[in-house]
Structures are given as structure tokens and as C-alpha cells.
Amino acid sequence: MPKDTQKMCFRHTPGAPDFEKMVKLKNPKFCTRARRKKPAHETKGHFHIENFHFKGATVVWEERDTVHNSNNVYYKLKAPVPANCAVLSCDDESIFWAYVENSARQSARPFKSGLDCGMTYFAKRCYDCKTGRVRTQHSIPKELVPKSKDDKPISGDLVARWNQIRAEYRFQKVEAPVNEEEERIIKQAVEGPWCVYPCD
């Protein structure tokens, strides 16, 4: 995706996210809010686990993320850490969609009250391709680790990824048909599984 598309404000709707409408009309704008100012803590990157957890870790997968212009490196840690989310099926009626209040994130995420994400040996670091600086580092469930170059992992931020695909179409000024990647995202939205986050 061209770099300028990352700066675009995603199409959005007012009020709370409406997951059912998003799925029915196949449009991520119904789970997307207006653009927000980035809080100070986000300008320094997301560091959900401390650096010492990566000491002695083994690299299990690396990939280039052209959407964010980053290199994503997946690690197996020496010791388990709390996972930042859980992979659940979409038939859990206690899951609800909401926006993260103290964040510039436009896209809604699925949450569950009292969710225990368990422990994981896996973590992910995103390195800026230009500077080499670590942008984000966080623990992930094992299900989010790619197994091969042809593997299509579960999207950790389904609505954001869907929005990025739509933004690329608009940037190119092309009324593109639904492509393979967008079809995969829509299928995940309808059938799951989802990356669900704790809200407590």
C-alpha cells in the first residue's frame, strides 16, 4: 500500500459501532469512528511487554508489512507471558464491539468482560523499515503466528485491515471489486475466529 494511504482518514459513521450492519452491508465504516488525535503515549510506540522478555528469545518468523512499512518479527520467548488477546469463535454472545477510548485507533475491536487470555510463549515486534526502530512489541496467542509464506493468519485487527484495503482502492481512484484479501477479511468477520480483548 502506498505510504500516503496510511494518512487517510478512514470512512466512518457516528455513534457506537454496529457490527451487524457492518457484516450485512459488507462495509467496515459501520465499525469505524472519526479520526482522532494521537495521544502522547502512542507517539512513542506500543510496548505491551518489557524488553527483558525478549532476552534469549528465538525468531520463528519474519515478514515485511507493506501496509505499515514495517518488518514484523515473531518470537518464541524463554518464559511465558500473559497474552494480550484471545482467539475465540464468533458464536460467543458475550462478545461486544467498542472503541478504545484513550487511543487514536479509528477501528472498533471485539471485547469480552472477565476474559482470561491465558499465557503465551509468543510475541511480536514491528520494526520501522526506514529507521529500524521498534514501533510495537506485544505478546500474541500462538494462533497468530504464521506457519508458512502461504499461511493467512487471523487478523489481529480485523476492521483496521479491512479499512486499509478500502483506503488503497480510494488512493488509486479505482472502484476495485472485492479482492482475495478483502474476501478473506469479510469471511473472518462473518464466521470468525476473532481476536478478542479483555475490557476489565
pLDDT in tens, the chain (200 residues): 444 444 557 899 999 999 999 999 999 999 999 988 776 555 555 668 999 999 999 999 998 877 678 899 999 999 999 999 999 988 888 999 999 888 888 999 999 999 999 999 999 999 999 999 998 899 999 999 988 777 777 888 899 889 888 887 776 665 666 778 888 888 998 888 899 999 86
Going 142 to 85 to 150 to 130, the CA torsion angle's sign is negative
> Residues 160-170, buried b or exposed e (16+ Cβ, 10 A)?
bbbbbbbbbbe
Model pTM above 0.85: no
